[in-house]
Amino acid sequence: MDYHILKEIKEEHKKHGELIPKIEILFDEIRKDLDLKKLENLQKILKELKLELEEHFFKEESKLFPEIINKNNELLITNLENEHIQLLEVLSEIDRNISRILNGENIWIEFRHNIKEFLHILNDHILKEDYQLLPSIYT
Ligand SMILES: [Fe+2]
Ligand SMILES: [Fe+2]
């Protein structure tokens, strides 16, 4: 096991976990004031997050999971890999939602649903990796 990779992964979980409440607050502000300038800013933040997540997921799938997979955690790892796909899909959907709103469409309900879904899955995903998957390495 490459402990440098493990350290990087944990640090990225911390960074992304801390971003979750910030995105939530930003969304609420945007929704309340219909602030399109802040919405553009959110789109930029989420585009950067998507690039970081793509790299992070690739690291896990190519370097972490193959090293640690065993009979006890293989189902968990399959679920985590499916969540990677799901998270990137919802993020793409959110990016399209934002562009549509910036173009004047009223799809706030759909947009809100996608944001809440994304943040919920991401939070849950990080918790599963930090508290279920990673502790299983040491046992
Ligand atoms: Fe992951
Ligand atoms: Fe992760």
Read off the tokens for 22.
Answer: 């910030």
88 alpha carbon – ligand 2 mean position (Å): 13
pLDDT of residue 39: 98
Q: In the block, which residue shows the tokens 């911390």?
A: 14
139 alpha carbon – ligand 2 mean position (Å): 20
State the average pLDDT for the chain: 96
Cβ < 5 A residues, ion ligand 2: 129
CA dist 136 to 10, 28, 47, 49, 93, Å?
14, 37, 32, 27, 33
31 alpha carbon – ligand 2 mean position (Å): 29
Q: Where are the domains of the chain?
A: 3-137
Annotate 41-77 with DSSP letters as a single string.
Answer: HHHHHHHHHHHHHHHHHHHIIIIIHHHH--TTTHHHH
**CATH architecture of residue range(s) 3-137:** Up-down Bundle (1.20)
CA of residue 69 relative to chain centroid, distance: 22
pLDDT of residue 31: 97
- Is residue 139's pLDDT more than 70? no
What digits encode the pLDDT tens for the residues 74-117?
Answer: 999 999 999 999 999 999 999 999 999 999 999 999 999 999 99
C-alpha closest to that of 8 among 45, 74, 69, 57: 57
Radius of gyration of the chain (CA): 17
Q: What confidence category does residue 1 fall into, taking pLDDT thresholds of 50, 70 and 90?
A: confident
Residue 127 sits at the vertex; the CA angle it makes with 43 and 85, to the nearest 5 degrees, is 50
Strands (E), the chain: none
What digits encode the pLDDT tens for the residues 117-130?
Answer: 999 999 999 999 99
